[in-house]
Structure 1
Amino acid sequence: MQAKLIPKPSGDPIIIADDLTLVGRHREYCDVVIDSGSISKLHCVIVKTDGLLFVRDLGSTNGTKVNGQRITRGALLPGDELAFAKEKFEVFLGPDVEEASNPDETEVVTEFSIPAVMRPKRGDDEIEFLPDDSAQ
């Protein structure tokens, strides 16, 4: 799975290549460095696992938001707006370039199942995965 953060309104995409990506302004410790005074030294961590993307705020001063809602942790879906303080990004999730580049090995999928994810409510630190049969 390829995951990217696309700066809004414009800029070069940030590739989320590792399973754990530390975001902040500390050049020595962070995988993604955002040079802005509103970003904490260790702002948040992005976790990529089993085709899903999650974010967890690390107690940052100015917060992490998903679609305008301040979160401590939560799931990220394609097209979500992820904001670190005032810096905003669109979440992109898709197949790896190598997976999609060979037409002889491209699989056409006509039916698929995506696990439903309940976003945590305020004050709720748990992310609930619903059974496949509950997905619409």
Structure 2
Amino acid sequence: MIARLIPVNGGQPIVLKNDVTVVGRKSDLCDIQIDKNSISKIHCVIIKTDGLLFVRDLCSTNGTRVNGQKIIRGALLPGDELSIASTKYEVDLSGEHKEDDPPTAIHQRTEMLTAFNLEIEKDRLDSDSGNEIKLISE
């Protein structure tokens, strides 16, 4: 999967080459440096796994947003707007199929949301203090 962040206000797209990409202001700590004061030294991490893309805020000062919603972590879908502090990007996920192929686009979104929801449920269950084991089914 080729993933890119395309600046909304123009500029060069950022290609996410690694499976784990740290984004921030400090070049020696980050894979991608964005030289703006509103961006924290280490702002967020973007993770590519099994054809899916996720973002996690790293306790940044000015926050990370997906489609205008402040997040701690979230899935990134094709066409989503990722805001790193005040810097906005459109998420572009290129693959074997054209993005405008409706069955492919719907399948990708369903797969991403299912995986993300299972991860949230797993985290919630891991944090439960009881000894109960819960099974999740669709």
Q: Does residue 17 of structure 1 match 2:44?
A: no
Q: Does residue 58 of structure 1 match 2:19?
A: no
Structure 1 unaligned residues grouped into runs of 5+: 101-108
The CA distance in 1 between the partners of 2:46 and 2:15, in whole Å, is 11
Cα deviations across residues 71-121 of structure 1 (Å, max 9, x unaligned)? 0000000000000110000000012xxx68xxxxxxxx996544251698x
Partner of 2:5: 5
Supply the RMSD in Å over aligned alpha carbons.
Answer: 2.9
Shift of residue 127, structure 1, vs aligned partner: 6.3
Q: Which runs of 4+ in 1 moved over 2 A?
A: 109-114
More helix by share: 2
Partner of 2:131: none
The CA distance in 1 between the partners of 2:9 and 2:37, in whole Å, is 19
2:120 aligned to 100, 120, 126, which one? 126
Partner of 1:104: none
Partner of 1:32: 32
The CA distance in 2 between the partners of 1:56 and 1:18, in whole Å, is 15
The CA distance in 1 between the partners of 2:102 and 2:78, in whole Å, is 20
Normalised TM-score (structure 2): 0.74
Normalised TM-score (structure 1): 0.75
More strand by share: 1
